[in-house]
């Protein structure tokens, strides 16, 4: 499943289009909210924005952290709930007892495999969570989307996206033996974010059209406009020229931008004139 969806060849759409697609998705594992997921995204982002007005990267992280739930949608394959939502945890080492429904791991062959059922398993102390394989779900999918599209969001944002359902870590303090120094710093932001992810949900509706311009500006500013890239088949030269002219560059100088430009566009990055 990770290999299939890691190809990022299902759908091409913008971040906001993806948010709107979540109108058709309900997370059955979420006991706090019956509204479509876009409501949760905006509630989380707006609550963070209110308390941390200067951390615009965190506002945007709040908006996009659950976009991986589009895996539930038919256009992305309509994966079952168990394969998309719920708690995540490391594989390749012992299943900690703090993981929800831990008793059912006894039916997993890895539970009895001495290569995998120890504190460190296939890992080593302080190896870094980036080197640890997590159970598959919407968190890891959205992390792969952002990473493979070379988003310029800070590492703390990617940490939040990838581990916000890793409750054994940020609620119970388990698996810290695998963390490195960067993880320790990023966990501080995840713990801040977690308060809004869990407790910002309410029946108060967000005025989507009112807040939309702000988040569209963040999407452009923080370079995550195109994330679900199925393949770009456009003519490079006119587009490169258009942005190059915004920088007052002219042939042949702008032609030198073409290769890097298309790497950036494939990553969802749009050149913005100073």
- Residue 185 to residue 88: CA distance in whole angstroms: 20
Number of compact structural domains in the chain: 2
Q: Please check whether residues 254 and 175 belong to one and the same domain.
A: no
Q: What is the CATH number of the domain that holds 24?
A: 1.10.3210
Cβ-Cβ contacts under 8 Å for 257 (sequence gap 6 or more): 240, 243, 244, 249
Q: Please check whether residues 143 and 64 belong to one and the same domain.
A: yes
Q: Please check whether residues 209 and 255 belong to one and the same domain.
A: no
Q: Please check whether residues 156 and 80 belong to one and the same domain.
A: yes
What pLDDT score does 34 carry?
A: 60
- Residue 257 to residue 223: CA distance in whole angstroms: 18
Half-sphere CA count of 72, side-chain side, radius 13 A: 23
- Say if residue 241's pLDDT is above 50: no
Q: Please check whether residues 71 and 179 belong to one and the same domain.
A: yes
- For residue 154, being part of any structural domain is answered with yes
- For residue 124, being part of any structural domain is answered with no
What pLDDT score does 155 carry?
A: 95
- Say if residue 268's pLDDT is above 90: no
- For residue 256, being part of any structural domain is answered with yes
- For residue 109, being part of any structural domain is answered with no
- For residue 116, being part of any structural domain is answered with no
Q: Enter the tokens of residue 136.
A: 């598959």
DSSP state letters, 106-118: GGSGGGG-TTTSS
Match 């908006």 to its residue by tokens: 63
What pLDDT score does 258 carry?
A: 37
- For residue 31, being part of any structural domain is answered with yes
Percentage of the chain surpassing pLDDT 70? 76
Q: Please check whether residues 262 and 149 belong to one and the same domain.
A: no
- For residue 227, being part of any structural domain is answered with no
Give the tens place of pLDDT for each residue, 86-132. Answer: 999 999 999 999 999 999 999 999 999 999 999 999 999 999 999 99
Q: Please check whether residues 77 and 164 belong to one and the same domain.
A: yes
What pLDDT score does 8 carry?
A: 81
Give the tens place of pLDDT for each residue, 178-223. Answer: 999 999 999 999 999 999 986 555 666 788 899 999 999 998 877 5
Task: Note the helical H segments in the chain.
Answer: 2-5, 15-21, 37-51, 56-64, 138-148, 155-163, 167-170, 181-199, 208-221, 236-246, 258-266
Residues tagged in the binding site annotation: 40, 65-66, 138, 164, 197
- Say if residue 28's pLDDT is above 50: yes
- DSSP lists the bridge partners of residue 134 as 90
Going by pLDDT thresholds of 50, 70 and 90, the confidence category of residue 244 is: very low
SS3 label, residue 216: helix
- DSSP lists the bridge partners of residue 90 as 134
- Say if residue 156's pLDDT is above 70: yes
What pLDDT score does 135 carry?
A: 95
Q: Please check whether residues 52 and 150 belong to one and the same domain.
A: yes
DSSP 54: T
Q: Cβ(42)–Cβ(50) under 8 Å?
A: no
Q: Please check whether residues 242 and 216 belong to one and the same domain.
A: no
Q: Cβ(191)–Cβ(163) under 8 Å?
A: no
Q: What is the mean pLDDT of residues 233-254?
A: 37
Q: Please check whether residues 186 and 262 belong to one and the same domain.
A: no
Percentage of the chain surpassing pLDDT 90? 53
Rounded to two decimals, the pTM is 0.78
Cβ neighbours, 10 Å, residue 10: 17
Burial class (CB in 10 A: 0-12, 13-18, 19+), 216: middle
Domain residues for 25?
A: 2-87+137-221
Q: Please check whether residues 142 and 78 belong to one and the same domain.
A: yes
- Residue 228 to residue 78: CA distance in whole angstroms: 16
- Say if residue 265's pLDDT is above 60: no
Residues tagged in the binding site annotation for Fe cation: 40, 65-66, 138, 164, 197
- Say if residue 27's pLDDT is above 80: no
- Say if residue 154's pLDDT is above 90: yes
CA angle 261–265–266, rounded 5-degree value? 115
- For residue 209, being part of any structural domain is answered with yes
Q: Please check whether residues 164 and 202 belong to one and the same domain.
A: yes
- Say if residue 245's pLDDT is above 70: no
């Amino acid at each position: 499943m990770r290999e299939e969806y890691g190809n990022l060849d299902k759908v091409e759409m913008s971040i906001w289009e993806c948010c709107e697609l979540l109108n058709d998705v309900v997370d059955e594992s979420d006991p706090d909210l019956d509204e479509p997921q876009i409501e949760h995204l905006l509630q989380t982002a707006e609550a963070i924005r209110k308390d941390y007005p200067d951390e615009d990267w965190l506002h945007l992280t709040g908006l996009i952290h659950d976009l991986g739930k589009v895996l539930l949608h038919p256009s992305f394959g309509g994966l079952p709930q168990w394969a998309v939502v719920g708690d995540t945890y490391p594989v390749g080492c012992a299943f900690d007892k703090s993981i929800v429904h831990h008793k059912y791991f006894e039916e997993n062959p890895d539970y009895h495999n001495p290569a995998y059922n120890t504190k460190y398993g296939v890992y080593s102390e302080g190896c870094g969570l980036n080197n640890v394989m997590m159970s598959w779900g919407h968190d890891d999918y959205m992390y792969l989307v952002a990473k493979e599209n070379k988003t310029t969001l800070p590492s703390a944002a990617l940490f939040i996206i990838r581990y916000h359902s890793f409750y054994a870590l940020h609620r119970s303090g388990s698996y810290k033996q695998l963390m490195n120094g960067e993880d320790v710093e990023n966990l501080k932001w995840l713990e801040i974010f977690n308060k809004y992810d869990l407790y910002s949900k309410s029946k108060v509706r967000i005025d989507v059209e009112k807040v939309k311009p702000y988040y569209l500006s963040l999407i452009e500013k923080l370079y995550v406009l195109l994330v679900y890239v199925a393949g770009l088949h456009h003519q490079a030269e006119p587009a490169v020229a258009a942005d190059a002219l915004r920088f007052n560059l002219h042939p042949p100088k702008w032609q030198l931008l073409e290769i890097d430009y298309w790497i950036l566009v494939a990553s969802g990055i749009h050149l913005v004139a100073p």
